[in-house]
Structure 1
């Protein structure tokens, strides 16, 4: 191995929601791959290879079962890949490059009790560090509002593929199926740091539903954000990158729900969007995590390759 390559701190890439697929998640899909998200992630891997990182030599992918709670994914999927990367390279530290939900998996490790002091940099792209209203829509009601006819969120496309699989050959109630088979989605609903996000219309007037009074709360992320100081105490350099310029759901308009099992905090009838996001995640949610902060005008998926100059600078490539 050349001295140039041997000096590189190895990268462990942690993909986002729906960015890992194998037979355990959907039978017949084979061994671990990027699955539904391959058109986004395979070009990114090639970009890193062009920067001098060879796959499975200095560049490793931490696939995980995104249906499971985030803490479990960190313990059972990320930690073994970090250990593998250190064993292969002989390095004592790795850099974690994370997209979307992958950033939360990484945070679960570096903020956890089993952290092994082996991460140099944590680079997160489009990670919903305070959650996303889109996740509330699916967790509580099984669908997104349709404020703009024909305009679909990338999460909705991937989610519909997965829900179509769940529907095959079995009795199907969408909300119950999501909550049973996809418990990690609760880890992605807005947390306290997002702020109030349900705008309820009652008796002709609209007012925000206080997060403190809601049934659907993100207790996991509330705890994670309350202990984020551990990352700085552990001397990990943090870079946080958010996409902007895309219409993104910021708030949800609701009316009282009559169902005891669906829309428990209000039935979503519309949304209020903002361009201060990447189409899936608001920049304010990404920047809940403190660190060196950067904006990129990009969608939720193309933020990775549009950040190539920044990555080269941070990784010394």
Structure 2
């Protein structure tokens, strides 16, 4: 979900690459000019980002002629409580989308790309932004139905006449699917949906429970964070709806019921500041029906699905005298945010990858190669010629080879302060019930000057999901360092006959 919030996005400061001038600059309708597609490009392509992936702006209170960024820059982080949606009938909201977030900046000192890699790849494929590549920024706080109408207006006003292709990520896939079904299926030739949360994600509940860690104080505290997040209709549309997602039938948590939210006793969870739940879940039922409907006959429907990542699958809420406790069970049949059963639809063809999580799925070389062939030749050609990379096998403790299904490198906190000593967990999903020697996992922390410091690992069975006998977990400790910046944690696992499996995760380090 980008998408639901996740380590690369939800725990960092944002910065946008586009100037504010682009928000206020007059736009020329693409209908006035019909440029020829680039070499090898068959038709225009519209990129639809995920949750949190678009910058938001409003008129500057000090000078209405200027634009103030309220989501998408370092300075805008403290504006988060001010983007809460009011649901009073007379409420006016001056906030508007003003460009896609192409990169994020951790604490102002370390940049990591969000949508820049896929835009660069598409440009190498032959697309040119403004000619046959169009990036749709939208107000991700609002319902996917509202944004589907906005996508229709965008394509009508900005994209040359004729058929178009759409590449949509995370929440953007819901927006695009509603658009095709309700707004403009006659204009769409192909719809590519990457990491689509068609049946929602348990990670939404985790985020509402914990907020964004050490960044909560800057965003109105955990109470303020919850109040703001739960004012967005989009957040409810991303909550899990698949079978057995949310407890046993008798005690399943039903987010459509205000009394269940109140019973959580979580500070900031206030049904009076939420959108109308009856209306919201009425839209969600329409969304569920729409997802099961086949696309129009002349629309080619392709799913890009991440697998073999440790993904929240089931949520259980235990109520008591104090705040409710959220317990989450995991599955490796997902992309780290969206489980497979939520990301696929019936018999719709999908192309899987085991090597990239939800937020980086469009960075994955295999997925990019698939898109290059599909967009310049055909989907059938891409399916036939772009192979799915093999998982690989590693040595087990008994000397046999076991399949390495997936790897997860997970710090115990999303962000650290200078001088902290953190924990990092390495979770493995193996092909059988055997185990592996932690000495076979080389875990390091990359320092600011580029050299790497080894992090010894030891088995930690308590960190494994109790319902998965194929999961093995290890824990190590590392120093955050004396200077603010970032820590790159890298795990290298030797495999038989193929290149080592390398998994990295980056965590910000802020000053005390």
Contact 2:55 2:72 (8 Å CA) reproduced: no
Q: Tell me how far 1:276 sits from its aligned partner.
A: 1.0
State whether residues 111 and 228 of structure 1, in contact with CA within 8 Å, keep that contact through their aligned partners in structure 2.
no
CA distance in 1, matches of 2:158, 2:256: 42
TM-superposed CA distance for 1:257, in Å, is 5.0
> Which residue in the other structure is 2:247 paired with?
199
Structure 2 residue 173 is the aligned partner of structure 1 residue 103: yes
In 2 relative to 1, CA 84–304 (structure 1 residues): closer, same or farther, beyond 3 Å? same
Residues 43-88 of structure 1, C-alpha deviation per residue, up to 9 Å, x if partnerless? 1100000000001111000011111111111212x1232124433x
Which residue is equivalent to 2:343? Answer: 286
Q: Deviations over 1:174-197 (max 9, x none)?
A: 4333222x2210010012xx1122
Tell me how far 1:109 sits from its aligned partner: 0.9
Q: What residue in structure 2 maps to residue 13 of structure 1?
A: 47
Could you say which structure has the greater relative contact order, defined with CA pairs below 8 angstroms and 6 or more residues apart? 1
Structure 2 contact 99–137 (Cα < 8 Å) conserved: yes
Distance 2:214 2:144 in 1: 21
2-side partners of 1:278 and 1:28: how far apart? 25
**Corresponding residue number in structure 1 for 2:188:** 119
Other-structure match for 1:68: 142
Aligned-residue CA RMSD (Å): 3.2
Structure-2 separation of matches of 1:213 and 1:100: 21
CA distance in 2, matches of 1:14, 1:121: 13
Cα displacement (A) at 1:258: 4.9
Per the alignment, residue 446 of structure 2 pairs with: none
The unaligned stretches of length 5 or more in structure 1 are 145-155, 201-206
| Equivalence for 2:358 | 300
Cα distance in structure 2, aligned partners of 1:101 and 1:160 = 26
Alpha carbons of structure 1 residues 121 and 273: separation in structure 2 relative to 1, 3 Å: same
- Specify which structure has the higher proportion of helix: 1
The alignment of Structure 1 onto Structure 2 pairs a total of residues equal to 279
Equivalent residues of 1:19, 1:34 under 8 A apart: yes
Q: Is the alpha carbon distance of 1:28 and 1:256 closer, same or farther for their aligned partners in structure 2, counting shifts above 3 Å?
A: closer
Report the Cα offset of residue 256 of structure 1. Answer: 2.3
Shift of 1:214: 6.5
| Moved segments of 4+, more than 6 Å | 211-214
Matches within 5 A, 1:107-186: 107-112=177-182, 114-115=183-184, 117-138=186-207, 142-144=208-210, 166-167=219-220, 172-180=223-231, 182-186=232-236
Instruction: For 1:165 and 1:71, locate their aligned partners in 2 and report how far apart those are by CA, in whole Å.
Output: 31
- Mapped contact 2:37–2:132 kept (Cα < 8 A): no
Q: In structure 2, what is the Cα distance between the partners aligned to 1:3 and 1:167?
A: 47
**More displaced, 118-127 or 248-257?**
248-257
**Using the alignment, how far apart are the partners of 2:214 and 2:300 within structure 1?**
37
In the alignment, is residue 311 of structure 1 matched against residue 359 of structure 2? Answer: no
Runs of 5+ consecutive residues of structure 2 not aligned to the other structure: 1-34, 59-68, 77-97, 105-111, 261-276, 378-512
Deviation digits for residues 93-142 of structure 1, max 9, x if unmatched? Answer: 11110110100111121121x3361111110000100001111344xxx2
CA deviations 1:8-31 (Å, max 9, x no partner) are 211000001111113247168494
CA contact (8 A) 1:249 1:280 kept: yes
Query: Tell me, what secondary structure is at the counterpart of 2:168?
Result: strand
Contact 1:196 1:209 in 2 (8 A): no
Contact 2:181 2:296 in 1 (8 A): no
1:26 is paired with a residue whose SS is strand
- Structure-2 separation of matches of 1:213 and 1:57: 43
Structure 1, residues 263-299: CA drift from partner, whole Å, max 9, x if none?
xxxx343211111111111111001365211211111
Larger of the two Rg values belongs to structure: 2
Distance 1:302 1:129, change over 3 A: same
Q: Is the 8 A contact 2:38 2:128 kept in 1?
A: no
Name the TM-score, length of structure 1 as normaliser.
Answer: 0.76
